[in-house]
A and B are shown apart, each in its own frame.
Chain A
Amino acid sequence: MRLPIPSSCRDALLFVFFLAFCSDRGAAQTTNIPPRIIRSQVFAILTLCICTLLSGLPLCAQSNAITLPRNLGELVLESETVVQGWVTSVALEPHPQLKNLMTVVVTIRVEDILKGNSAGSYTFRQAVVDRKDLREKFGYRAGQHVLMILYKTSQFGLASPAGMEQGRFRIESGSNGRLVATNGYRNAGLFRGLDSQLKTKGLRLDQETQAMILRPVVGPIPLEHLKSLIRTISATNSTK
């Protein structure tokens, strides 16, 4: 059973294969551990790596916030900007005014703007409070394909995804080739209560999108449906 391996994962796998060689030639000869056991452990590492890598690139942002869950409608309504695009740069920079504050500055090449105004590229600056985030840069990496629902920028020029991890979606190709989106909570609770909120506002959705919010599953959702929903919700807001 061969698994498709994203190119970005290949270097990690190379290392594991390297370990496999080493364990056969070196460790097994210099210790009393049977080679079979060592090989099995190496393969466990390999399995671990493959599974980890295939289950998605790390999105380890906001390692430290206690956050009230919000559904998609609430996230969009409280947001200032909703943007889809490719992360082109991620930089760790001291805040220009606030002493002691490091920030992660993320620039996105805009593919589509669903709320707010932006053309070409969009940049936001997120505050780093925990040391882990200093190292991980909230898990942002150049080359990531994302959809960001961003809360309004503060007086100090700082911004975060609405609902923190809930407003940050990773975009990938689904098994059928369609693009799918997954937020930091694997979309858990994203549509909770949304149907009744939309009905209250007299909004109608296409059949597929309606089915998606009525029978939510934890995991990726079609990007086109997510965007359709966001546009519907934000249009309601803007016509108020």
Chain B
Amino acid sequence: MRHRANNAFLWKRATAILLSLLLSPTGMTYAGGPLTVGGPTEGVSGVPLLWDNTTPIAYRVDGGPLSQQPNGGPVVIDNTTGVARVNQLFAYWSAVPTANLTLTNAGGLFAVGSFPANGDVKTVNDFLTVAGDVSGQAPDPNSCNGGGQSPIIFDADGTIFDGLGLPPEVIGFAFQCAFNPTTGKVISAGAILNGRFQDGINNPSANNFELTKDEFDQAFAHEFGHFLGLGHSQINVDLFLDAINSKPYTCTTDDTAGMPLMFPVLGICPAKLTAGVPMIGVDDAAWMSKLYPVPSPAPSGKTSFITAYGTVSGTIFFSDGVTPAQGVNVIARSTNAPRRNTASAVSGYLFTGNPGQTVTCVNPAAPTPQTCSNLGDPFGSRDPALIGHFEIPLPPGTYTLQVESVFAGFAAGSSVGSLDPPIPAPGTYSSTATVSVTAGATTAFNITLQGTQPRFDAFESAALQSPYLRAIWLRREQLIMERQTT
């Protein structure tokens, strides 16, 4: 009996951990900073896809309740309260003093087709009408995919999620709708919130789960970060690893504050507001500010980015000190509060995760999706100089740098960095060397990993792939001579 009670306790604890919400970004993922980076044909190569912040970013909100109990039961969170919560969640981001973001609730939803202005999105058909033609071929100009509006939709009782065939544990999703393929500026995006998680009913056996207000809000503050163009970050991942391995762990206040809102999983530590720490972590604020920097001189109420942040920039190398390493998570930790004041980036975050190839296309000179097996990801730069490159925006201070693998399970919608799935860091780095960060300045800091495998074995090298006329055994000799003379 005692054993069973212990199990029950453990299960409750596990259930609490289950509140870890695996959060997935909208659209293409180039995380550890920006969500999406422009590629050869989409946006500006190597430049993150962002909103045009020279004018306010406008979103529009559903006219119905945020949450209602099933089968036409009582409204649990009415529209006024729901809209206020959405506004507050966006306001967390616009309140970052060094982020040049003005976010505006432009009112109720626009009329789209048969859907009325300021209407309540109640059905799958309503949702699809407001979202518009996802193929982008003939979207209604007022729809999200038509670039007409950025809707925040309340599915009060989960009817829309059910109709779309989504399983009951889906809390919501954000989605990118339209962007300008030339400028790389986002035109519209949207999100839908599953009010069933806030209906006051916690009955897992009936597939009705419940989250606390703080948990639910944190999930959508995270999603709104994606809405604005921010990707995932991995910091204090040791807590997550303990959690999934059922090891005991404790989140200190610094741990909770230092774990980014944009960490791919929520709920490892208490919800930030429950723990009394700011919704936006140091890493979140740093990256949102880098993507949307407040210019100098700063307008009233804001702080210019260059007076508040410096940057550590460099390249991660294999042990040869030459070959850049992609997909390594780099974390800068303040020497004063290393678990709290910390920010990160993934090496090569601007470079594509899939360069593709055209060699085996039917006609390599004119590659098409129909005649090529892998054209690569249309997003992300192809500039080799960006392989292994990282930049971390940081408040002035003294930091140490650490490197680690991106957690192997952070793939697909929860990916961190441009490699999806991630790869283990090819080597290690351990140093107590500190880096001094000064506002407005960039500090160069390259890292050479220790213990990486050679690029190839002793009998394979770049030279061996060269179209030299010499026989292969003679090329090896030549290579040895080259090494001795360089």
Contacts and interface: CB of A to CB of B under 8 A. Distances in A.
B355 interface: yes
Interface string A131-161: 1101100010000000000010111111111
Contacts of B177: 131
Contacts of A165: 22, 412-413
Contacts of A131: 27, 134, 136, 145, 175-177
Given A66-B23, A69-B22, A199-B7, A36 B15 contact: no
Contacts of A224: none
Contacts of B463: 39
Contact of A69 (B20, B174, B412, B466): B20
Interface stretch (B59-67, B338-346, B382-390): B382-390
B214 interface: no
Interface stretch (B101-109, B162-170, B395-403, B431-439): B162-170
| Residue of B128, B139, B164 most packed against chain A (CB within 10 A) | B164
A99 B125 contact: yes
Interface stretch (A81-89, A173-181, A183-191, A203-211): A183-191
A158 B170 CA distance: 15
B322 interface: yes
A44 interface: yes
A132 B27 contact: yes
B33 interface: no
Contacts of A151: 165-168
Nearest to B135: A102
Contacts of B163: 154-156, 158
| Residue of A44, A135, A151 most packed against chain B (CB within 10 A) | A44
B428 interface: no
Contacts of B21: 66-69
B420 interface: yes
Contacts of A15: 355-360
Interface in B180-232: 204, 207, 209, 219, 222-223
Contacts of A49: 355
A60 B322 contact: no
B165 A63 contact: no
Interface majority SS (helix, strand, loop, mixed), chain A: mixed
A112 interface: no
A187 to B, nearest CB: 8
Contacts of A74: 204
B457 interface: yes
A67 B24 contact: yes
B148 interface: no
B25 interface: yes
Interface string B345-375: 0001000011111111000000000000110
Nearest to A162: B167
B357 A11 contact: yes
A68 B465 contact: no
B253 interface: no
Nearest to A158: B165
| Residue of A51, A102, A155, A158 most packed against chain B (CB within 10 A) | A51
Interface in B440-454: 453-454
B421 interface: yes
B360 A11 contact: yes
A162 B173 CA distance: 16
A48 B387 contact: yes
Interface in A7-62: 11-12, 14-18, 20-21, 24-25, 36-45, 47-49, 51-52, 55-56, 58-62
Given A49-B355, A129-B131, A98 B125 contact: yes
Given A63-B24, A64-B25, A186 B17 contact: no
B34 interface: no
Please tell me the size bucket of the interface on B: 35 or more
A2 B454 CA distance: 11
| Residue of A15, A58, A67, A125 most packed against chain B (CB within 10 A) | A67
Contacts of B14: 192-193
B19 interface: yes
Contacts of B277: none
Nearest to B455: A43
B173 A20 contact: no
A100 B134 contact: yes
A15 B374 CA distance: 10
A65 B135 CA distance: 19
B323 interface: yes
A74 B353 CA distance: 33
A100 B23 contact: no
A126 B165 contact: yes
Contacts of A163: 167, 169
Interface string B37-64: 0000000000000000000000000000
A154 B164 contact: yes
B324 A41 contact: yes
Interface string B283-326: 00000000000000000000000000000000000101011111
Contacts of A67: 21-22, 24, 167, 169-171
A66 B24 contact: yes
Nearest to A195: B7
A70 interface: yes
A174 B456 CA distance: 24
Contact of A70 (B18, B223, B378): B18
Contacts of A17: 465
Nearest to A159: B165
A68 B456 CA distance: 43
A192 B13 CA distance: 10
Nearest to B415: A60
Contacts of B426: 47, 51
Q: Which 3 A-B pairs have the closest CB atoms?
A: A15-B357, A158-B165, A39-B462
Given A61-B412, A64-B175, 6 more contacts: A66-B222, A98-B124, A127-B165, A139-B412, A159-B165, A161-B167
13 contacts: A39-B463, A41-B384, A43-B462, A45-B387, A47-B323, A51-B327, A60-B413, A78-B168, A131-B145, A139-B412, A156-B165, A158-B163, A189-B20
